[in-house]
Structure 1
Amino acid sequence: MKRKFVSVILTAAVVAGTLSAATVVSADSGEGKVINIYSWNDEFRQRLEAVYPEVESTSKDGTVTTLKDGTEIHWVINPNQDGVYQQKLDEALMNQADAADDDKVDIFLSETDYVNKYTDKDADVAIPLKDLGIDPDKDLADQYDFTKTTASDTDGVQRGSTWQCCPGTLVYRRDIAKDVFGTDDPEAVGEKLKDWDTTKATAEELKAKGYYTFASYADTFRLYGNSIENSWVEPGSTTIKVDQKIMDWISDSKEWLDAGYLNKTVKGQWNDDWNKAMSSDSKVFAFLFPAWGIDFTLKPNWDGEDGAWAVTNPPQEYNWGGSYIHVATGTDNTEHAKDIILALTGNKDNLLKISQDYADFTNTKSGMQEAASDDAFASDFLGGQNPFEYFAPVAENIKIAPLSPYDQGCVELIQNAFSDYFQGNVEFDKAKSNFETAIMERYPEITEVQWPE
């Protein structure tokens, strides 16, 4: 059975042939005057404004950016929550062939959790970079390999590119470290958290002083989930296979929660209790975040002075997130799109500027190695510490887990199902069956869920 890698509406478009690559307008016939870019927030717009030399101005409401040649970028923003962004994007892609030139999707963004859906060669909704005149082996040679793999189809053809690399670190409260360990030195604290066994012993020390190691069982999920050995759904299959690493996360989370190493009142992430766990009143010692997590999540929720937090190594290397830029099949702005991708993801100087201006860990290996030893990349929020010193070695060793179009749903729903188990509301077997029900409701084509022995 053919793998159903996209929503029903987009799949129908593919079957109907409405997304054929033949609709691409060549640069020879002239570029369009409107570039429609689909995203879920203004992050990409801010980066483009910061480094793309062709930007002339942006409207006060942030919806239109005008380039020096008069071309307008129209920013089409829909929220990621509840799949709204993907739904709106899919609808636009379905209508791509029949849309007026100024209404076509030209560039769109995806996240790691669902990038596979849009790079699928059969869907053919994202133009291969080589067809744009970009040679990934030369023009993007300095990118981290796993980011290039993530943006490629099953034939290894790269269909997207990113300015981000999102290696994760451990971010901890200096005052709690001093109280429990007698030091807040990142190297010394890192030794207390160098692997899971050591971290568990450290969790007992923290508990004895009245602190939680992490806020929630959800905080550790990405570390386990990034190390799965097999895809959630193999190509051509309709069976979800739950990896043993996910089962390890379930058993370890239950053990840690029952032992008091996690705060039982914090149920998952991205909720008010989790946000409050980052405040000065909290007893939570650490969070597991990539660079964007520190800047977008921790910093806004912290109500104390700068310098209260520091970065060190995590118990296990992991990657969390990443926004990928794709050029939509059917665009009438291939030359503009090529220029934007090269400027935003292939220009080392531009990427270093993004790292300095926005604290992003960006996607050039040589650039991030330089940043790791350059005091100019120190963070005021982290009390003058240079976090790139800890991000860089993690990035060098990341091996991306095998992807599938079902990753986002599996990641979200298995955490939801077992949250009730962790809280003691349902038995283990009931949590399993709840996951099976939820995943098949979201993806009706899934016929089976296999659990490890």
Structure 2
Amino acid sequence: MNNAKKFLVLFLTLAMLVSMAACGSAGETAGSGTGDEEGKVLNIYCWNEEFKSRFTDYFEKPGLVPDGVKVNFVITPNQDNAYQNALDEALLNQENAAGDDKIDIFLIEADYALKYVNTDYTLDVVNDIGLTEDDLSDQYQYTRDIVTDSSGRQKGTTWQATPGLFAYRRSIAKDVLGTDDPEKVQEALANWDKFDQVAEKAATKGYKMLSGYDDSFRTFNNNVSQPWVDKNNKIVIDPNVMRWVEQTKLYTDKGYNNKTILWAPEWAADQGPAGKVFGFFYSTWGINFTLLGNSLATPESEGGKPEVGNGIYGDYAVCQGPQNYYWGGTWICAAAGTDNLKLVHDIMYTLTCDAATMKQITVDTQDYTNNVSAMNELASSDFKSDFLGGQNHIALFADAAPKIDMSNISPYDQTMTEQFRSAFKDYFDNKVTKEQALENFYTAVIEKHPELSK
């Protein structure tokens, strides 16, 4: 095994210790995939069915898959990092894999994007794949920044932009604030001090402001002034993250939340008909899929229709909230060694650059897509969401998306955010002191990344 590949093994297992931009030989050992003969099998690695549905509906059904090409989705659910582990193993075997077994495309998320884009096992979407700057120019800048490597090369692309908003119950807002009008609710929640004041007021009416500990975390964490790790590999905890700790402890002690955690059954129930929670921080996909589903008294899987009269469908609205943030998103990467360069180019162009396709995805699914012109067109139209009581939420997303700043993203984000929330849950539950929670956080992170220090 050559030195470049030895380094990649360490890199993938330790979630990227340093940039591999200097390892020029890695891409050569993986294979350049520059032959004229296109492969007959397109292998796509992902963790759920979402991209598969986009690919099927907007690329395969329109007849854009070449005759004779078999599309093979390798789906590994991402529980306990199973997806990353399977992907890592496949990437390390890419050099020796037969042509029809090589990875052509794989999907990544923002929290661990740099782990992959800072290696030569991902291709440059401009110089290797052939997308032009003009093709990419209408994408939101933050979606490009997340997958730009340390040498300034864009190594992935996405059909999604995922700015976040604050989704609130109209009926509860009327009771607490006397109005459910999004502009007036926004005035009441325009900064964290105002947000806290509404939380206190909501409590007097018998409502919780938030469901649990994690609800506001990403909003605080997306607005830090520095990365989690500095240039000397020292862990940095930004004051804005500590403000999340202070707010969440206050909300817990005062009874302003229900002490739930993200994705727990109790958290989901708080979004439904019996819930008494003022609102939830959610991004594009969360509002249109997760929140909508949780709002129904009779789920669609049991024959229920997403319409007014089923649960609290129509009782939510959205406003910007106290700070801009984003949550989620999925990026398409081309694997070095692919023998389907032209097909990969066509997929990336159609699904992430073509304005007509982007607009149609939003019209069909109400998901927010990664094309400024298409989204601005819908923002200024009569487009509306019945789930949000007839509100044109695209207009709010279109205002929020250009303001997202990803300059402080780091390769350690996934580990840091997971361990920080886990450590401080014990503090919120009064099991440890704040100082002990902080020490437990440092211990857990350094155990995973021994190169770091506190």
Hey, what does 1:448 align to over in structure 2? 453
Structure 2 CA distance for partners of 1:82 and 1:253, relative to 1, 3 Å: same
- Alignment of 1:299 onto 2:292: yes
Q: Deviations over 1:103-126 (max 9, x none)?
A: 101000100101111110xx2111
Hey, what does 1:109 align to over in structure 2? 107
8 Å contact kept, 2:131–2:349: no
Residues of 1 paired with 2:272 and 2:360: CA distance? 30
Shift of 1:313: 1.5
- Alignment of 1:129 onto 2:125: yes
Hey, what does 1:436 align to over in structure 2? 442
Hey, what does 2:237 align to over in structure 1? 242
Shift of 1:309: 0.8
- The answer to which of 82-91 and 179-188 deviates more is 179-188
Shift of 1:184: 1.3
8 Å contact kept, 2:141–2:402: no
8 Å contact kept, 2:15–2:411: no
Hey, what does 2:279 align to over in structure 1? 286
Q: Deviations over 1:175-199 (max 9, x none)?
A: 1112222221111111111111111
Hey, what does 2:181 align to over in structure 1? 185
Equivalences for 1:267-346 in 2 at 5 Å? 268-302=261-295, 303=297, 304-346=311-353
8 Å contact kept, 1:114–1:408: yes
Q: 2:67 aligns with which of 54, 58, 69?
A: 69
Q: 1:20 aligns with which of 19, 23, 28?
A: 28
8 Å contact kept, 2:140–2:371: yes
- Alignment of 1:33 onto 2:40: yes
Q: Deviations over 1:320-362 (max 9, x none)?
A: 1111100001111111101100001100010111111222111
8 Å contact kept, 2:104–2:335: yes
Partner secondary structure for residue 152 of structure 2 = coil
Gaps of 5+ in 1: 57-65
Gaps of 5+ in 2: 1-6, 298-310
Residues of 1 paired with 2:182 and 2:350: CA distance? 35
Hey, what does 2:207 align to over in structure 1? 211
Hey, what does 2:420 align to over in structure 1? 414
Residues of 2 paired with 1:230 and 1:305: CA distance? 40
- Alignment of 1:97 onto 2:103: no
Hey, what does 1:62 align to over in structure 2? none
Equivalences for 1:189-200 in 2 at 5 Å? 189-200=185-196
Amino acid at match of 1:49: T
Residues of 1 paired with 2:127 and 2:430: CA distance? 54
Equivalences for 1:395-410 in 2 at 5 Å? 395-410=401-416
Shift of 1:442: 2.5
Hey, what does 1:259 align to over in structure 2? 254
Residues of 2 paired with 1:274 and 1:47: CA distance? 28
Output the TM-score relative to the length of structure 2. Answer: 0.90
8 Å contact kept, 1:18–1:95: no
- The answer to which of 184-193 and 324-333 deviates more is 184-193
Partner secondary structure for residue 262 of structure 1 = coil
Residues of 2 paired with 1:340 and 1:159: CA distance? 15
Amino acid at match of 2:106: F
Residues of 1 paired with 2:107 and 2:47: CA distance? 8
- Alignment of 1:363 onto 2:375: no
Partner secondary structure for residue 114 of structure 1 = helix
RMSD of aligned alpha carbons: 2.3
Residues of 1 paired with 2:65 and 2:134: CA distance? 27
Q: Deviations over 1:51-79 (max 9, x none)?
A: 216755xxxxxxxxx93412111101111
Structure 2 CA distance for partners of 1:117 and 1:241, relative to 1, 3 Å: same
Partner secondary structure for residue 258 of structure 2 = coil
8 Å contact kept, 1:183–1:189: yes
Q: 1:140 aligns with which of 131, 136, 143?
A: 136
Structure 2 CA distance for partners of 1:55 and 1:368, relative to 1, 3 Å: closer
Partner secondary structure for residue 51 of structure 1 = helix
Structure 2 CA distance for partners of 1:422 and 1:22, relative to 1, 3 Å: closer
Structure 2 CA distance for partners of 1:252 and 1:446, relative to 1, 3 Å: farther
Equivalences for 1:223-234 in 2 at 5 Å? 223-234=219-230
Partner secondary structure for residue 329 of structure 1 = coil
Shift of 1:380: 2.1
8 Å contact kept, 2:59–2:351: yes
Structure 2 CA distance for partners of 1:55 and 1:26, relative to 1, 3 Å: farther
Aligned length: 430
Amino acid at match of 1:446: E
Shift of 1:224: 1.0
Hey, what does 1:48 align to over in structure 2? 55
Residues of 1 paired with 2:381 and 2:443: CA distance? 51
Amino acid at match of 1:407: D
Amino acid at match of 2:165: T
Residues of 2 paired with 1:22 and 1:197: CA distance? 52
Partner secondary structure for residue 170 of structure 1 = strand
- Alignment of 1:6 onto 2:4: no
Hey, what does 2:305 align to over in structure 1? none
Partner secondary structure for residue 214 of structure 2 = helix
8 Å contact kept, 1:161–1:324: yes
Shift of 1:305: 4.1
Q: Deviations over 1:249-290 (max 9, x none)?
A: 1122212222222223x1x21111111111111110100111
Partner secondary structure for residue 95 of structure 2 = coil
Output the TM-score relative to the length of structure 1. Answer: 0.90
Residues of 1 paired with 2:65 and 2:211: CA distance? 45
